[in-house]
Structure 1
Amino acid sequence: MAAAADAGQGGAVSVDLRHERRMVCVEYPGLVRDVSKMLLTLGGEESVSRIYADPSKRLELYFRPKDPYCHPVCANRFSTSSLLLRIKRRRQRGAPGSEARLDLQVLGIVATVYKFQGLSDFQYLAVHTEPGGRQVSMYDKVLMLKPEKESFFHQELPLYIPPPIFSRLDTPVDYFYRPETQHREGYNNPPISGENVIGLSRARRPHNAIFVNFEDDGVPAQPLEAAVQTWKKVCTNPLDQKVEKELRKLFEIRPIWSRNAVKANISIHPDKLKVLLPFMAYYMITGPWRSLWIRFGYDPRKHPEAKIYQVLDFRIRCGMKHGYAPSDMPVKAKRSAYNYSLPITVKKTPSPLVTMHDLKQGLAAVPPDVLPVMRPERGRAAEGHSPQ
């Protein structure tokens, strides 16, 4: 379809593009002089058509197409809305001045473009250095171009086993250098270190909490001296002393609390709560009471009545909460019950007969006519109780 540029300066021409051909643009990283050689670096027309049929694939360009060890540079696929134009400038012979006529022709619509935005991978050439310093190609010795006899596989040849890829990333990444972590005065590195220890570059958090695993033998009976001194420095007004008494009373009512439950029962700033909790209790990391704060000296593993304080962890997606996500979307479990690390072959004594009074006592861990506090938040576990 041709459109003459005689509509006047600043004029517009209407063109119907509904019947134009759909084309694909490849931003080739080089000057194309021979189209056939250019297509050979892309794998040929058949390879380009196969990659275009699959939107998830990237277009590969081999600068040495005959070299089987050449690592390609990849192009990403993008959607676009462009026109491929052919512009001809016509000038009449013998006409005075430099007046010329421009003819425009729309050849097609470009809806897809491949852009080579990344870097090429490192290249390793199969060459061998002779005693005289001359570089000799090894392709004739490495590549099997014809069937060989058994003696061919027993002769001594230079070993050439390059990796399939050198760099995992094809885009440059800026490395942000950071200064060395400055710990507080008197801090010593932990004596236990290994390949699985992470986070050593982070400064130690000064809250002085005691962390206990479910497999540990005992539990602490009192807080660290540093935790006591830290709370004394923070507790500077009568309101803080009142909050301390309220939290101590909560741990007398029940020995195990979650952070959310403490926040729901007392009014305290989150920064001060980080200092007050290590002063009152220790933190359980694993097991049925993980992520809970337990009163000093109380071991829930030795008290059967502590089973009602086990964690029932469930999450509510933010989209489901606000109504713009389906409610039946499957959520993958954080851990599998088939790969549970705790022993499952422990011999248990036969349980005594359960009376109706015991069943009523084990239904809930709250007084009658009182609903338990359920405060699910985004990315935070809600507190619940399980009788098992």
Structure 2
Amino acid sequence: MAAGGGEAGSAVLELPRAPRLVCVEHPGLVRDVGAALRTLGGEQGVSRIYADPTKRLELYFRPRDPYCHPVCANRFPTSSLLLRVTRRTKRQQQQDAEKQTQPEVKFEMEILGIVTTVYKFQGMSDFQYLAVHSGPDGKQISMYDKVLMLKPEKEEFFNRELPLYIPPPIFSRLDTPVDYFYRPDIQHRDGYNNPQVSGENLIGLSRARRPHNAIFVNFDDEEIPAKPLDAAVQTWKKVCTNPVDRKVEEELRKLFEVRPVWSRNAVKANISVHPDKLKLLLPYLAYYMVSLWTDLLLFLLQGGGRITWIFLALYLNIS
């Protein structure tokens, strides 16, 4: 720090080149820096988020609560300074009791670093869900000691009778308020009829279809396809021009020999294939069951038996 040389009451400071700092605008009154840092995941959590510019910084108001929904902060570049301002007061001895002397006040400033990145919490923080239930007298009773397993428990812990507690599967996709302008229904005169709509006078209904010659069936369909479409066979034969593609085809055949039902993500996890090639290979060897899981759930809720043999004929295995 170098002071002086300027006008009265001003100071000239040297701008250091380091360190580079990150600012987090914590949405609360910080009295304990350690506790505030724990709500952000600790120093390691902040460093991990800072290393990836595409991620948002999450803040948990209750770090030990697994049902605490985080508040997210957006990352912004900035050019700010972190200053340390010290106010020193020097009281002078009074030589004359009738004459009052003003204490000498001196300010000292020091630049601690340059802030290049700031995290701002701009979203709403009221999306929270607590594990509680209402008692007979209307008092809220905590259920954390009943639903959280903090240590290995015996079978009695899982067979206890508890109030129904179902947390929401997902929160709102947006954490910022959005204005929605409701429009009233259009009032037409008596005798008005809506014109007939045809595809000729409609513009841009949707993007053009991208057919991959895949076959889609429902779980309750009585007939299942026995072979792929001819277009799917011709398309795969056209792109299958190297040994790598033929090897992928054999690997996929072996997967269906092990098990007749595979999800798309499971197939990608077990074989190494380009996504564009996989779009053409799956219609050649298999068909899609579009309502499998919902129909299975209804089957079980309606008292269905074991589901071991339901999957036997769902996917093709062409030899």
Q: State the TM bucket, normalised to the shorter chain.
A: 0.5 to 0.7
* CA spacing shift, 1:126–1:11, aligned 2, 3 Å: closer
AA partner of residue 8 (structure 1) = E
Could you say which residue in structure 2 is the equivalent of 1:30? Answer: 28
Which of the residues 188, 191, 194 maps onto 1:183? Answer: 188
> Is 2:16 the partner of 1:17?
yes
For 2:146, the equivalent position in structure 1 comes to 141
What is the DSSP-based 3-state SS (H/G/I as helix, E as strand, rest coil) of the residue aligned with 2:90?
coil
Tell me, in whole angstroms, the C-alpha distance in 1 between the residues paired with 2:116 and 2:208: 42
Secondary structure of the residue aligned to 1:4 is coil
| Partners of 1:26 and 1:114 within 8 A in 2 | yes
Structure 2 residue identity aligned to 1:338: H
Q: Is the 8 A contact 2:3 2:13 kept in 1?
A: no
Q: CA deviation at 1:154?
A: 2.4
Match of 2:122 in 1: 117
Given candidates 75, 78, 86, the residue that maps to 1:77 is 75
Find the counterpart in structure 2 of residue 50 from structure 1.
48
Structure 2 vs 1, CA of residues 46 and 336 (structure 1 numbering), >3 Å: closer, same or farther? same
Match in the other structure for 2:133? 128
In structure 2, C-alpha distance between the alignment counterparts of 1:5 and 1:88, rounded to whole Å = 16
Q: Indicate yes or no: 2:161 matched with 1:156.
A: yes
Q: Answer 1 or 2: higher relative contact order, Cα 8 Å, separation at least 6.
A: 2
Using a 3 Å threshold, how does the CA distance of structure 1 residues 140 and 115 change in structure 2: closer, same or farther? same
Gaps of 5+ in 1: 190-203, 214-282, 292-332, 346-388
- Contact kept, 8 Å, 2:133 with 2:140, in 1: the verdict is yes
Structure 2 SS opposite 1:125: coil
The 1:34–1:6 alpha-carbon spacing in structure 2 relative to 1, beyond 3 Å, is: farther
Supply the distance in 1 between the matched residues of 2:43 and 2:169 (Cα, whole angstroms): 25
Q: Deviations over 1:15-39 (max 9, x none)?
A: 2432x20000000111111111111
- How far residue 63 of structure 1 moved from its aligned partner, in angstroms, is 1.1
1:38/1:70 CA distance change after superposition, 3 Å: same
For the pair shown, the structure with the greater C-alpha radius of gyration is 1
Asked whether the 8 Å contact 2:92–2:103 carries over to 1, the reply is: no
Tell me what 1:172 maps to. Answer: 177
Residue 145 of structure 2: SS of its match in structure 1?
Answer: helix
1:338 to 212, 216, 230: 212
Hey, what does 1:8 align to over in structure 2? Answer: 7
Q: 2:282: which partner in 1?
A: none
Instruction: Note closer, same or farther for the CA distance 1:92–1:70 as it changes in structure 2 (3 Å cut).
Output: same
Aligned with 1:65 (options 60, 63, 66): 63
* Letter of the 1:335 counterpart: R
Give the match for residue 106 of structure 2.
Answer: 101
Once the two structures are superposed, residues 329-368 of structure 1 have per-residue CA deviations (whole angstroms, 9 ceiling, x without a partner) of xxxx843142599xx98xxxxxxxxxxxxxxxxxxxxxxx
Contact kept, 8 Å, 1:41 with 1:64, in 2: the verdict is: yes
- Native 8 Å contact 1:5 1:103 kept in 2: no
Q: Distance in 2 between matches of 1:119 and 1:40?
A: 20
Per the alignment, do residues 42 and 51 of structure 1 end up closer, same or farther by CA in structure 2, a change over 3 Å counting? same
Contact 1:61 1:72 in 2 (8 A): yes
Deviation, 1:109, is 0.3
TM-score by length of 2: 0.58
2:218 corresponding residue in structure 1: none
Q: CA deviation at 1:284?
A: 8.1
> CA–CA distance in 2 between the matches of 1:335 and 1:43?
45
Secondary structure, counterpart of 1:26 in structure 2: strand
What code does the residue aligned with 1:23 have? L
In structure 2, relative to structure 1, the CA distance for the partners of 1:5 and 1:34 (3 Å cut) is farther
One-letter amino acid of the counterpart of residue 114, structure 1: Y
- Aligned partners of 1:121 and 1:170 also within 8 Å: no
SS in 1 for 2:37: helix
Q: Distance in 2 between matches of 1:100 and 1:6?
A: 19
Structure 2, unmatched stretches of 5+, are 94-100, 216-228, 231-319
Shift in CA distance, 149/34, structure 1 to aligned 2, threshold 3 Å: same
Paired residues, what number? 210
CA deviation after TM superposition for structure 1 residue 86, in Å: 0.6
